[in-house]
Structure 1
Amino acid sequence: MLDRKTDDMTDQSNVRTKKLINAPEDIISQAIEGMISAHPHLLRVEGDSGRAVVAVDGPRDGKVGIVIGGGSGHEPAFAGYVGRGLADAAAVGNVFASPSPEQILDAAKAADGGAGVVFLYGNYTGDVLNFDMAAEECAGLGIPAKSVAVADDVASAPSDRADERRGIAGDFFVFKIAGAAAEAGRDLAGVTEAASAALSNTKSMGVALSACSMPQTGKPNFEIGHDEMEIGMGLHGEPGMRRGKLAEADHITDELMEPILAEMDLPEGSEVAVLVNGLGATGLLELYILHRRVAQILGERGVKIHHSWVGEYATSLEMAGASVTLLKLDDDRKALLDMPCRTPALTVGTVAQARPAATTATRTTVQHAARDETEVRREDLATDGPVTPAIFRSMMIRAGERISADADRLSELDGVIGDGDHGVTMDIGWKAVRKALEQSPADETVETSCKRMAKAFLDAVGASSGPLYATAFLRAGTAVGNRLNLDAAAVVAWVEAAAQGVRERGRAEPGDKTMVDAWVPGAEAARAALGKDGDVLACLAAACEGAERGMNATKEIESRRGRSAKLGARSVGHIDPGAASTHVILCAMYDAAKDALS
């Protein structure tokens, strides 16, 4: 049996995990440094963000650049697949969080050889938002960019909504096919087509036996009994299709293979590639037992295995469990799969001797155009209103402090219906905001502070929260751009614009069980208070109360957006963590304003 000797997990609140790390805030930079020092003949770092890992012998003029990326914690994905014949660069995000647009842009500029770039990433809200923003910036720099979001997990949505599925270990095959197509000299459309065809013919499903833990919290990010398994578990610990008692390996393999084969047209004589992937704490002994059964099932159908990979290729920190992925082959995909590549995590065939790193003298480069910032004439700004720029900054700093204080609670809320990192991610972003504001000029306008906050949050976080809050801050700042001090109407306009920014960037509506469910009623309540001749404090108090009502209402809503959307009815009964953090922010703004104005 796939047995796992673990403590009874019925009360995991006091469980602390052990990791070989230094300071949690340094884990990504130190891991990248260690990776580069281990593979200096294959990898280097480019760009100011320090998060773009680039192939020494990959990018070159005239070749389509392959840029992959995603959160850390899935090693060897993603940077482990950077090298000649596969990916040219990887953007490395925080643990379980998408890289930011700046980090992705660094990778894109390093990979660009004048033929455009293809972005490949898992189909998660944060990745989609951040890579979309990076693609917009690439267009402004003259770099054509196409995207393929890998959505291979059959457990996460029905086949008629396959575009909503999440990506798990199928990234492995899509990356390999796209990298080979680019290496073969195909143009941007041809590489994108090859990647999309690979995705359409790649199906995966996984099982989890134990939880993983975020390095920042040291706590399991979900609960599972010592004798239980979760069928269809996501790569970040998102709950799957069902939870049941631990079964024998053959039974589990049958259950994983059944939905995969139900969707794949594999008549007798078909060929497939197989990936049996460990999630971080499952040894090869068990993985080979799974592959044994996979081979039996395919053999009974007369399906030939062209090649198999068994091992850890897309992990989930230290989670125990595994996934099975099949790629249906035709002549083209078979040839691309067999093409040589050389990366830290995957070598196929023999590649040519690595050349010296390309330089700006031999490669096409695109220069950043300086952005024009229109100078604000302070004498033209409205000065009525009690909220000065200094008070506004104190409100934002208080919000950051409250998020830090509540980070563990927010992550625990997220661990129930998500991947358990919301509090961690928000804390990282708001710490960056606080630092940026504390270093800002004392006479800086509210709009300029909002721009500073947007850049700080987005550069620090990525994930879904990065683009959402960056957009919120930018829209809110623009809404009060004609003012030096804020009166009650301006404060309400700020909250409304922030809410609308989150709503539009996330393409979410009230009732979807997201932070929008707190931002929108908070803004509506603030507007209603203003209509009753409310002052600044009354409007902020109303916003806090409205956000609290919206937050509590999410408990009875079935999630329709984000990672928890895959849970369906299982998300009912749990408060949305994004709505909870919104409530924290608005209440902190009120408290800071009250302290300053009372």
Structure 2
Amino acid sequence: MPKKLINDPDDLIAELIEGIISAHPNHLTVQGKTSRAIVAINGPRDGKVGIVVGGGSGHEPAFAGYVGKGLADAAPLGNIFASPSPTQIMDAGFAADGGAGVLFLYGNYTGDVMNFGMAEESMAKQGVVARSFVTTDDVASAPADKSNERRGIAGNFFVFKVAGAAADLDLTLEDVEVAARRANDATRTMGVALSACSMPQTGKANFDIPDGDMEIGMGIHGEPGIVRLPAESADAVTDRLMQPILAELALKAGDKVAVLVNGLGSTTLLELYLLHRRVAQILHAENVTIYHSWVGEYCTSLEMGGASVSLIKLDEDLQRWLDHPCDTPALRVGTGQNTVEKPAKRSPRKQTHIQERTKREPSSLDSSGQITPEVFRDMMVASAEAIFSQRNYLCELDGDLGDGDHGITMEIGWKAALSVVEQTDVKATILELCEDMGQAFLDAVGASVGPLYASGFNTAGEAVSDRLNLDAQAMISWLDGMTRGITVRGGASVGDKTMIDAWEPAVAAAKQAFEKGASVGDCLTAGARAASMGAEATTQMQSNRGRSKKLGIRSVGHKDPGAASAAIMIVAWAKTVQAL
């Protein structure tokens, strides 16, 4: 794989943001306690709907590159290919808020939907009306009758531009959302991958594309495509990409479109212009006019080789919104370069801080049981170390089904969790430790893992809130709480090929062992054995949830990484308790 010009991978996002700001000081600044919200210097203003676009890093110039006057007011940056956390999103939301509401725009991915949704709820509690709009332009990821399940990929470009223009023209929140929907409904994208990308932390390809092959219908997170075919010429590939786009947009003679030919990271402009040449020929043959074209890198996937073609079918309003001036690092329309204006007037926005939790007196809690808070800490350390040792393995599993980052996100989450555990009062209860670890996962990871394990830890802690120590029955209640929290937040069931396929069997087996009089260690061991078997069983399942669902039958034959990591943790907990 290509070498990368990076420093310490742990500092990657902070240094990325520092580089973005230093390169575009006339356009961008950073606001908020997380230091992850990139904000337009000349964007937010009183009385205007705030526009927040976002997602993970690794897609540059998306998403921060579209922050600026006339387009987005702010963008929270997540880790590589991972949604920003609710706290990071809220920093961007409050920075963008001008008192007329805030619209979050992002691609239709499980982690983004969870994290932006949680931020939306939290902002509402503080008096700010925030709404979410998900983009769904990827034709390959679901059939037309299930378009709401489609991914948002490079066609984000058109939806963001239209929403930003509508907001800059002082339309209401409802009308800006309508404009975004009209743009999304009129936009279709298809893509092709010629080579995989690699995560900076591992340096390994997310998946393998043999020489002479290509992947049709891939997303923008380094995941495989919907189908693998022998590589074809530029014209043949363009024909293949354009056919479903033309069919769905139902273009006819006299229609007008805008075109985006987007490079995924390592494809040359020469190749992209060849694709555009063929797009223009096809549209000319249909007597469809190209109103404007953009060719280049607008939404990448690290160094992935390949490209996508997006078309937006224009009407009078959509054309006017595309023409509306904007001035951002990645896109300038109707304005000079590096314009500097005095920032618009804005009233100060204040976030309220969450009140500290109510502490419970340890003497009032049930102290029976072998698992003390100290032992519980040891269990958490053991599971973290087990995840660290299996990071690359988990990334390899995820590369077969998704974006190849599961081991990295779990490592980031557990590093954050261990850090807060080390800082937590030695007298903290298991409930308090769970609350701290859940918040640490949520703040550090984002993605889908953050909300899922935050909900899991919080629900597990509440399940044993009356306990100082845990006996076998209480330990099973804690495991059951983890499972319920994850299930309620994510909505998955056994058989969907997710982490639930490890958690549910673990709880059932532990309960069965307890009914036979097993010790807490033996109950955990039974649960660990069942979790491992459940994770292994996902290999033969077809995915029904998340990004891997888009692969259909191609997901069969690969173990689910979330189930694998769950089993690794439960095994580590069992070994720790059995060693007492």
TM-score by length of 1: 0.95
Q: How does 1:299-378 map to 2 (within 5 A)?
A: 299-350=284-335, 354-357=340-343, 362-371=346-355, 373-378=357-362
Q: How does 1:192-591 map to 2 (within 5 A)?
A: 192-350=177-335, 354-357=340-343, 362-371=346-355, 373-591=357-575
| Secondary structure, aligned partner of 1:492 | helix
Contact 1:141 1:366 in 2 (8 A): no
Q: 1:62 aligns with which of 24, 28, 47?
A: 47
The answer to which of 454-463 and 431-440 deviates more is 431-440
> Could you say which residue in structure 2 is the equivalent of 1:4?
none
- Residue deviations 1:198-245 (CA, integer Å, cap 9, x gap): 111110000000110000001111101121111111111222232111
The answer to which of 53-62 and 231-240 deviates more is 231-240
Contact 2:135 2:159 in 1 (8 A): yes
Which amino acid in 1 is paired with 2:397? L
Whole-Å separation in 1 of the counterparts to 2:354 and 2:496: 39
Whole-Å separation in 2 of the counterparts to 1:18 and 1:145: 41
Q: CA deviation at 1:379?
A: 1.7
| Secondary structure, aligned partner of 1:92 | strand
| Secondary structure, aligned partner of 2:140 | coil
| Secondary structure, aligned partner of 2:117 | helix
Which amino acid in 2 is paired with 1:552? E
1:48 has 2:23 as partner: no
Whole-Å separation in 2 of the counterparts to 1:236 and 1:225: 19
Query: How has the CA–CA distance of structure 1 residues 357 and 543 changed in structure 2, closer, same or farther, with 3 Å as cutoff?
Result: farther
Contact 1:17 1:219 in 2 (8 A): no
Q: How does 1:133-172 map to 2 (within 5 A)?
A: 133-172=118-157
- Residue deviations 1:92-112 (CA, integer Å, cap 9, x gap): 000011100110010001000
Which amino acid in 1 is paired with 2:3? K
Q: How does 1:120-135 map to 2 (within 5 A)?
A: 120-135=105-120
Q: CA deviation at 1:353?
A: 5.5
Q: CA deviation at 1:370?
A: 4.1
| Secondary structure, aligned partner of 1:306 | strand
Q: CA deviation at 1:540?
A: 0.6
| Secondary structure, aligned partner of 2:270 | helix
Which blocks of at least 5 consecutive residues in structure 2 are unaligned? none
Whole-Å separation in 2 of the counterparts to 1:371 and 1:270: 56
| Secondary structure, aligned partner of 2:293 | strand
Contact 1:276 1:291 in 2 (8 A): yes
| Secondary structure, aligned partner of 1:436 | helix
Identity %: 58
Which blocks of at least 5 consecutive residues in structure 1 are unaligned? 1-15
| Secondary structure, aligned partner of 1:155 | helix
- Residue deviations 1:45-84 (CA, integer Å, cap 9, x gap): 0001110000000011110000111011100000000000
Whole-Å separation in 2 of the counterparts to 1:536 and 1:356: 65
Query: How large is the RMSD of aligned CA atoms in angstroms?
Result: 1.2
> Could you say which residue in structure 1 is the equivalent of 2:84?
99
> Could you say which residue in structure 2 is the equivalent of 1:12?
none
Query: How has the CA–CA distance of structure 1 residues 297 and 480 changed in structure 2, closer, same or farther, with 3 Å as cutoff?
Result: same
Whole-Å separation in 1 of the counterparts to 2:130 and 2:323: 26
Which amino acid in 1 is paired with 2:455? T
Q: 1:32 aligns with which of 17, 25, 30?
A: 17
| Secondary structure, aligned partner of 1:498 | helix
Whole-Å separation in 2 of the counterparts to 1:271 and 1:523: 58
> Could you say which residue in structure 1 is the equivalent of 2:168?
183
| Secondary structure, aligned partner of 1:161 | helix
Whole-Å separation in 1 of the counterparts to 2:197 and 2:241: 21
1:78 has 2:63 as partner: yes
Whole-Å separation in 1 of the counterparts to 2:188 and 2:542: 26
Q: CA deviation at 1:189?
A: 0.4
Contact 1:66 1:87 in 2 (8 A): yes
1:112 has 2:97 as partner: yes
TM-score by length of 2: 0.98
- Residue deviations 1:125-164 (CA, integer Å, cap 9, x gap): 1111111111111111111111111111101110111111
Contact 1:65 1:88 in 2 (8 A): yes
Q: CA deviation at 1:546?
A: 1.3
> Could you say which residue in structure 2 is the equivalent of 1:13?
none
Whole-Å separation in 2 of the counterparts to 1:279 and 1:463: 21
Which amino acid in 2 is paired with 1:281? S
Q: CA deviation at 1:372?
A: 5.2
Whole-Å separation in 1 of the counterparts to 2:507 and 2:2: 40
Q: CA deviation at 1:455?
A: 1.0
